[in-house]
């Protein structure tokens, strides 16, 4: 695995120590605070006369497994398109994820489901832990090849914590909707990573040059990652939406949005190339932007037409980003975005947040019927107008951008 | 990606233009015609007091995701066994699928679920769109390496349309049963592609020579495709069968049929080789014939024994096809079947249609009990005898062969 | 595929003959004995007025597909880390599995569900057949590269039979709990393979030398196997546990155990290397030990804390095993464990059995509530004390070790 030889001596000891220390801390915190919830505890579950179908496991676990596949296979193999980091990307992806899912169980538990001194867990906390891990992996994509595993573990420790705080502010304090995480996962992960990448820029300048770019052979491995992300994205966006029409509609919208972003990516990629050739980096990345862009709104009544338009735009701006914006980011802003997460997660994430605000502003009782209280409970109860909900959505985006940038900047101090 | 250099100039413009044109047309048609159905629309769903389990999402979505994996990972990677087309196969597979699933939503919607001027969509339309995409990819396998992406997109436009018409004739007009698509998907896709391949033969003769055949290294990538198709085929055949015993039985029959076709493939492959060596092309392809051959009948009461026999025969004729028939097809009939889809989808598909007719002819009230009206509603209601149902099944095969051949032949005019 | 040239002549005939013979025997036995059960038979299912949700398909099939992926993709690709056997491992994995799942349907059917002369099958028998196949593949990992496919098929014939007998003794006669198979699958498969590997040692000594060890390139393929095993292990352990809290808790415990074993594997691997480098063989294998170690106990109330500790220990002893024990096994005990199954399945399996006994000993009515009769029915009914259950669990481990060793030793006579 790629490491700075100057650091090797320290790392022999540092990486094992950090892993053991983190794992020990997690074990101790689990022993004090983490308990089975009423759906996973034998005694609690059997206290009342449940039907099996009352157990959320059967509505969430298949989605969880799809999300799990995206995190470990999807992100892991996608990053192999940078051949020099083929194994690092998968190996460190594995390490960071295994740590982050444990640590985020604690952070999210303390913030979201801390009752009488205990954190109660089940399949929904597993999904949320994987979601948080997704944000960490997005940031990893921005700094791939520039950091040691020790630095990456420290980054994860910080990012998981801030992710939980940001999510708490958005969902619990501001009443923002973001089931598929356009803001909380994609925007947060991308800008955290981009700011961190800028911080790491100076000292690494020479070494990192010429490291980007893919080769033909590694493209097939990368396509494993791309395709698994692409096919399971409907499960990602719908994993924690409301059961029934909510989950169903979210999967449907994401499916069509991805179809459209794939076509616009192929079109733009060929159009922008002098010889009309398709650029594999576009196909492997920008085609996925359709999943990111409907992260906030896929649960809402955006209509199948709206999903297609959103996906089309996302594929377009993402491909344009890889072609035109990325070189500028590096030369003018000194941000070396190794995997181009700004194009795949950053811009489509922000666009998704804006789209979510727009769709929220258009929400009416007529369109949503009795389902309005599931999607916009504060609007349904009359605590907020639809316009006001839209403003809160925008506020959520602002908070996310601020916290992500601050978080990425803290890396400088280390 | 492989392209004819003589065409390159035009393609720089043609591919982007076609993608954008198709996507724009789809967006416009969606805006006029496509709406959420009662399970995906917030207002409609909440009009009546549903239990969550009334939503088909929970009975179909896991199967949908397995089918989705087969279409994008399975077909995509299987075709990498032809090393020269490694990336083309996956890239074009991706493009054609992303287009076809959108276009078939419209075609199938107009033909199958057009009510009061609108198409209503949900998870079942997603599965059907993926099924239609499967037929397109089968045809793609027959012409792989001989066509530009522009030609492939035009092929998809035509094939999706004819697929919908053929399916409408079989299922709606003739009352034929074909849940797993031995006829509508495999036979149709194979013969459409084979006729098209013959049409493309003349001009491509010299260039295509020596392009077939696999190399050791690409075999591992191809096995990713093979195995994902193999493991998820039970979900493919059962995805739109009746819930309860129907879905359960279909998955079971397919599972055992695939086991048997794998053993007969290994046996025949070693037996036919002078040194007793296994031919990887057989393993990667013929082992899958067990899934194709029970496409029509797996929902019926073929018995576990029947499933094994069907799979065994399918693996046998498929392997024999690769060994003996394929060279004849090329030399005598000028059909260059790049991936051998005639052996994997064509012959096993026809065999599956015949098997379906046989099993239909044997259907009795005693064997099916009250379930007869689910599997053969016209027989259960007394509108048809079992023998008559069998005749309609054969008629369905005939219609499929005719429409597929005509469709593939239209390609000549372009 | 790798074969001994001296055997080739015979193999040209032997492999096809054996495949055809086995398949023919299975077809005949199926025709006499195997029938659809009440959930897969059209007539039986419709005799009573079922709700669709009474059909176990909807509670088991998603787990089945995850297990199926582990068996065919997970095990198949994991073994490619030994580059010389890249294709053999996947091809023979495919053949052995396709045979074993059919044969074990019969063996397990005769032993577990033989009613009035018939074996009745459904999704649960499919899962159990895949489980048995898992044990065969573990043994295959111990002898990879030393045996012909003919020998491997004969091994499978014997092992599947003994697996069924061992499972029958443990579950039916001794009343042992082992839902995820720490004993019946991992311990049994590992020690069967290890004893067989010792038997094969002498004649193969020279040829096998220098064959072990991975190369950089094949590592990416192996990681496909590792990650799919890792992500779906929660489904493996929970596939046949009790619906409701049981299945939910089992998945949760396995998820956290795997997280902890991954961190301890990374820590130990770097710590034990002179240059602090991570050893890919450790990452690809030992990180999975967390799934093995909770196979027996994940259904029980081990607490999330207990799952973490178990996983941590398993990753640790597994990595230590690869580093220190494996060379000793070869030099002192003449056991060449090609894939190191003793480290991944053997030791963690035994540890998992001991852990299961410990947790059983601690079972109380207070902890399990009314759920006690699901997890420990004999204890709940007062037929056994918790301590006595623990003793039976240990007896189960003993029986497994004896039968596996005897079984592996029988190989010598051939």
**Domain-wise residue ranges, chain B:** 59-200+211-410
**Cα–Cα separations (whole angstroms), residue B143 to A73, B17, B71, B189, C361:** 31, 23, 17, 12, 65
Residue written as tokens 């025949």? B268
Which chain A residue's Cα is nearest to B69?
A: A231
Instruction: Tell me whether B68 touches chain A (CB under 8 Å).
Output: yes
* B13 pLDDT tier (thresholds 50, 70, 90): confident
Question: Which of C265, C276, C279, C363 is the best substitution to test chain A (most A C-beta atoms within 10 A)?
Answer: C276
CB contact under 8 A, A45 and C371: yes
Residues B366-377: pLDDT tens digits? 999 999 999 999
| Lowest mean pLDDT segment, chosen from A143-147, A382-386, B287-291 | A143-147
Cα-based angle B75, B79, B83 (whole degrees, multiple of 5): 155
The residues facing B36 across adjacent strands are: B121
Closest CA to B287 of C306, C265, C98, C284: C98
Interchain CB contact of C123 with B (< 8 Å): yes
Q: With cut-offs at 50, 70 and 90, classify the pLDDT of residue C409.
A: confident
| Phi/psi at A36 (5° precision) | -60, 145
Q: Mean pLDDT, to the nearest integer, of B381-397?
A: 96
Q: For domain B59-200+211-410, give the CATH number.
A: 1.10.3430.10
Q: What angle do CA A117, A119, A125 make, to 5 degrees?
A: 165
The mean of the pLDDT values for chain A is: 90
Chain B neighbors of A69, CB-CB under 8 A: none
Residue C211 confidence (pLDDT): 43
CB contact under 8 A, C15 and B276: yes
What number of residues does chain B have?
Answer: 414
For residue B131, give how far its alpha carbon lies from the nearest alpha carbon of chain A (Å).
Answer: 15
**CB of A142 within 8 Å of any CB in chain B?**
no
For the residues C20-32, what does the mean pLDDT come to? Answer: 97
Q: Nearest chain A residue to C263 by CA: give it.
A: A19
Residue of C nearest to B236 (CA): C65
Q: Over the stretch C236-264, which tens digit does the pLDDT of each residue have?
A: 999 999 999 999 999 999 999 999 999 99
Residue B275's pLDDT is what?
82
C184 in contact with chain B, both atoms CB, cutoff 8 A: no
- Contact pairs from chain B to chain C, CB under 8 Å: 183
In this predicted model, what pLDDT tens digit does every residue of A311-358 receive, in sequence order? Answer: 999 999 999 999 999 888 888 888 888 889 999 999 999 999 999 999
How many C-alpha atoms does C343 have within 13 Å on its Cβ side? 31
Give the nearest partner residue to C30 out of B252, B277, B305, using CB atoms.
B305
Per-residue pLDDT at B214 exceeds 60: no
| Nearest CA-CA distance, residue A81 and chain C, Å | 12
- Report residue C311 as tokens: 């996983």
pLDDT exceeds cutoff 50 at C205: no
Please answer whether residues C93 and C137 qualify as being in contact, where contact means their C-beta atoms are separated by less than 8 angstroms: yes
CA distance B14 to B147: 14
| Chain B nearest-CA residue for A279 | B1
A306 φ/ψ sector (left φ>0, alpha ψ -120 to 50, else beta): alpha
pLDDT band with cut points at 50, 70 and 90 for residue C333: confident
Q: Which of A43, A134, A218 to mutate to test the interface with C (most CBs of C within 10 A)?
A: A43
For residue B229, the distance in angstroms to the closest alpha carbon of chain A comes to 14
**Contact across the interface for C94 and B371, Cβ inside 8 Å:** no
From the CB of residue B408, how many other CB atoms can be counted at a distance below 10 Å?
28
A338 touches chain B (CB under 8 A): no
Closest partner residue to C276 (CB to CB) among A11, A26, A76 is: A11
Residue A137: exposed, middle, or buried by beta-carbon count in 10 A (0-12, 13-18, 19+)?
Answer: buried
What does each C-alpha distance from C22 to A240, B263, C135, C352 come to in angstroms?
A: 48, 9, 19, 35
A414 contact C CB<8A: no
pLDDT band of B273, cuts 50, 70, 90: confident
Between positions 245 and 264 of B, the ones with CB within 8 A of C are 245-249, 251-252, 255-256, 258-260, 262-264
**In chain A, which residues have their Cβ closer than 8 Å to the Cβ of C304?**
30, 34-36, 121
Task: Count CA atoms closer than 13 A to A307's CA, side-chain side.
Answer: 28
The answer to whether the CB atoms of C260 and A57 lie below 8 A apart is: no
Q: How far is CA A108 from CA A104, A121, A139, A162, C46, in A?
A: 6, 10, 19, 10, 47
Return the higher-pLDDT residue of C46 and B87. Answer: C46
Contacts of B304 (CB under 8 A, 6+ apart): B252, B253, B256, C30, C34, C35, C36, C121
Q: In what order do the strands lie in the sheet with B34-36?
A: B34-36, B118-121, B114-115
Bridge partners (DSSP) of residue B61 are none
More confident call, C62 vs A411? C62
CA-atom Rg of chain A in angstroms:
21
Average pLDDT for B128-153: 93
- Please give, rounded to a whole number of angstroms, the shortest distance from the CA of B305 to a CA of chain C: 5
In chain B, residues with a C-beta closer than 8 Å to the C-beta of A224 are: 73, 77, 224
Q: What pLDDT score was predicted for residue A193?
A: 95
Phi then psi for residue C371, to 5 deg, are: -70, -10
**Model-level pTM?**
0.95
């Amino acid at each position: 695995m790629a490491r700075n030889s100057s650091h090797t001596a320290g790392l022999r000891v540092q990486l094992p120590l950090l892993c053991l220390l983190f794992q020990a801390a997690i074990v101790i915190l689990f022993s004090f605070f983490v308990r089975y919830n009423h759906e996973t505890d034998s005694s609690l579950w059997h206290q009342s006369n449940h039907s099996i179908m009352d157990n959320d496991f059967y509505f969430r676990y298949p989605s969880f497994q799809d999300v799990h596949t995206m995190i470990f296979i999807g992100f892991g193999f996608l990053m192999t398109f940078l051949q020099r980091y083929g194994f690092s990307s998968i190996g460190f992806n594995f390490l960071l994820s295994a740590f982050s899912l444990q640590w985020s169980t604690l952070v999210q538990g303390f913030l979201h489901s801390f009752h009488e001194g205990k954190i109660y867990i089940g399949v929904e906390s597993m999904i949320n832990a994987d979601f948080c891990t997704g944000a960490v992996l997005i940031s990893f994509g921005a700094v791939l090849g520039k950091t040691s595993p020790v630095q990456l573990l420290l980054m994860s420790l910080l990012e998981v914590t801030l992710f939980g705080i940001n999510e708490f502010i958005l969902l619990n304090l501001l009443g923002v909707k973001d089931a598929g995480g356009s803001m909380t996962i994609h925007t947060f992960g991308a800008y955290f990573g981009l700011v961190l990448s800028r911080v790491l820029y100076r000292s690494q300048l020479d070494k990192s040059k010429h490291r980007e770019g893919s080769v033909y052979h590694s493209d097939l491995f990368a396509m494993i990652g791309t395709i698994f992300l692409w096919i399971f994205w409907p499960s990602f966006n719908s994993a924690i939406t409301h059961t029934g029409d909510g989950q169903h509609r979210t999967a449907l919208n994401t499916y069509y949005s991805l179809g459209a972003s794939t076509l616009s990516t192929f079109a733009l990629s060929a159009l922008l190339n002098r010889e009309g050739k398709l650029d594999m980096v576009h196909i492997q990345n920008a085609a996925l932007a359709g999943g990111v862009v409907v992260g906030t709104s896929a649960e809402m009544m955006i209509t199948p037409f709206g999903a297609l338009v959103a996906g089309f735009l996302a594929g377009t701006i993402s491909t344009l980003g890889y072609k035109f914006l990325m070189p500028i980011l590096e030369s003018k802003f000194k941000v070396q975005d190794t995997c181009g997460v700004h194009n795949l997660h950053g811009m489509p994430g922000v666009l998704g947040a804006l789209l979510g605000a727009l769709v929220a502003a258009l929400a009416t009782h007529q369109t949503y019927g009795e389902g309005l209280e599931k999607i916009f409970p504060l609007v349904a109860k009359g605590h907020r107008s639809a316009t006001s909900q839209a403003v809160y959505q925008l506020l959520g985006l602002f908070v996310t951008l601020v916290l992500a940038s601050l978080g990425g900047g803290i890396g400088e101090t280390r």
